[in-house]
Structure 1
């Protein structure tokens, strides 16, 4: 490599994305190219530098010592370029605020309430981006994200929006067919719709001391919106976040099957870069969101049932409820 000769920008992007995901395929999906193209870019960069950046083991890739040393300055350089570009192209007083939210939360909770934000802040043009992917604030042009997790994200600020309480629900037609369950144990005999990992029902029963729940039969879905659709069409009972099905319960489209609710360890968080905390648009959205969330129903109270939480140690629910993989990254 000639002195002061910079590597190709596309090769650096391929290196950074592959190093972040430790996956050529995921990097290719992010960059909208083929895995073969990513591999070629990385090979070109390694040839340019004269060192190997990755070790390839079976179908996986791992950073070499040189790759680990090279990654932080490359990542910081991209972040600085992105921040500088955003400052020039988007003045601080520009009216567009881009918020990334997971699809189910956006459609079931956020969008129905957005008129209140528009009325309170008519000078801010809110752009909602529906995504379950990792949020990269430097690259994606996102000002804030709403994600489901534990709220601990390195280098980012986060505020809890909603603590997710899980309740069993079903369509009225199925309740009419099978009868309202007299006790949670009755649901072991119901047809059930499952999360992708087929664990949520087992953990819910276990939290209440019900052991004979049987195998997790029935359809499963990796998206909470699809799971909700299956429940609304009478395919079985399901465990869903009470706050996001409150409207369906209130309108009679769903019935809460038990007054036992299960408070998850995970919650929805508003997440954004630490240096955006005092940004006027972010502060306005944060204030409105937290105020609205404080008044949101935490359980399916709209169904008319009193609530009690499951006894025993709290169990962590399946990550299907918006996905732990949705955690933001800087």
Structure 2
């Protein structure tokens, strides 16, 4: 049995012959034209046959190249189709959920097991990111987004509005309290959740104190976190008082790990939404997740 040439070289030939361009083939395979040309030349040396006629501004297949291209192209197409079938089998039981890291850690992860119990035939994959999900390129089927509800050309379900409120650990309150008015917080260690900075009107400590009629000389002092869950975790450890997100802190408040030293909330002016391309709703796994989270949110809003 004769020895086959390297697979990368055969792949380089197939792409080059299909495009009749080293540049286009190189773009497709994410290599430089020079590297691609080197692979093709290596294949020709291996076979002892010239596969392309190289002209000044173009290339053409030789007779040998024309004879072997159809079979090689068909082989790669069969490999592609076989892999696509495997992925389709996985897709039939998978739903990929995009959301922010804070929502994933503080809200979705502790509850997702209930979805899997209701739909044991579905596998759920959470893809947390601060970047807006690209449904076409990221493989995300459905996304939980935080914003004003303006998501053009998408199916959108409103889930829950979010608010901010002062929160600290019970230990911090015991050691530094009691706190009866907003003025009592003025000189305490403040924790800042900067995850709302994308919203110019987002409530900050400065806005919260002003709404209480309290003047603070340097309301930006203290610790700043770009992730909401990190800010909440700092408060859980007794580092200070966070102006925390009500939705994301609900579980910690439920179990008494975070408490509100002053019960005064401000709206973020934003809500969580279920968002996906309209065509995705036809996928049974997406439809199942949508049904589950809408029901889960109805129960959650009644107590949060």
**Which of residues 218, 226, 251 in structure 2 aligns to 1:247?**
251
- Backbone CA RMSD of aligned residues: 3.0
Number of the residue aligned with 1:180: 178
Matched position secondary structure for 2:161: strand
User: How is 1:305-324 mapped onto 2 (pairs within 5 angstroms)?
Assistant: none
Equivalents in 2 of 1:206, 1:175: separation in Å?
Answer: 22
Task: State the shift of 1:96 in Å.
Answer: 0.8
Number of the residue aligned with 2:109: 111
Structure 1 position 157 matched with structure 2 position 155: yes
Q: Is the 8 A contact 2:160 2:301 kept in 1?
A: no
Task: State the shift of 1:217 in Å.
Answer: 0.8
Number of the residue aligned with 1:228: 232
Matched position secondary structure for 1:284: helix
Q: Is the 8 A contact 1:117 1:285 kept in 2?
A: yes
User: How is 1:20-59 mapped onto 2 (pairs within 5 angstroms)?
Assistant: none
**Which of residues 132, 135, 159 in structure 1 aligns to 2:133?**
135
Matched position secondary structure for 1:254: coil
Number of the residue aligned with 1:74: none
Structure 1 position 8 matched with structure 2 position 24: yes
Q: Is the 8 A contact 2:203 2:266 kept in 1?
A: no
Matched position secondary structure for 1:189: coil
**Which of residues 166, 169, 172 in structure 1 aligns to 2:167?**
169
Matched position secondary structure for 1:287: helix
Q: Is the 8 A contact 1:146 1:270 kept in 2?
A: yes
Length, aligned pairs only: 229
Equivalents in 2 of 1:120, 1:109: separation in Å?
Answer: 18
Equivalents in 2 of 1:167, 1:10: separation in Å?
Answer: 54
Structure 1 position 266 matched with structure 2 position 282: no
Q: Is the 8 A contact 1:145 1:272 kept in 2?
A: yes
Q: List structure 1 runs of 4+ shifted beyond 6 angstroms.
A: 4-7, 85-88
Structure 1 position 277 matched with structure 2 position 284: no
Matched position secondary structure for 2:110: helix
> Which structure 1 segments of 5+ residues have no match?
15-32, 38-84, 301-330
Equivalents in 2 of 1:147, 1:231: separation in Å?
Answer: 25
Number of the residue aligned with 1:214: 218
Number of the residue aligned with 1:193: 191
Q: Is the 8 A contact 1:165 1:299 kept in 2?
A: no
> Please, what TM-score do these two structures have when normalized by structure 2?
0.66
Task: State the shift of 1:207 in Å.
Answer: 3.1
Task: State the shift of 1:206 in Å.
Answer: 2.6
Q: Is the 8 A contact 2:100 2:145 kept in 1?
A: yes
Equivalents in 2 of 1:12, 1:147: separation in Å?
Answer: 33
| 1:219-269, Cα deviation, whole Å (9 max, x unpaired) | 111111221121112111011112221221222211111221112211111
Q: Is the 8 A contact 2:164 2:203 kept in 1?
A: no
> Which structure 2 segments of 5+ residues have no match?
1-18, 33-82
Matched position secondary structure for 2:190: coil
Number of the residue aligned with 1:289: 293
Equivalents in 2 of 1:208, 1:228: separation in Å?
Answer: 22
| 1:291-327, Cα deviation, whole Å (9 max, x unpaired) | 1111114776xxxxxxxxxxxxxxxxxxxxxxxxxxx
Distance 1:166 1:279, change over 3 A: same
**Which of residues 88, 97, 101 in structure 2 aligns to 1:90?**
88
Q: Which has the larger radius of gyration?
A: 2
Task: State the shift of 1:278 in Å.
Answer: 2.9
Equivalents in 2 of 1:262, 1:13: separation in Å?
Answer: 52
Distance 1:222 1:92, change over 3 A: closer
Q: Is the 8 A contact 2:103 2:248 kept in 1?
A: yes
Task: State the shift of 1:156 in Å.
Answer: 1.6
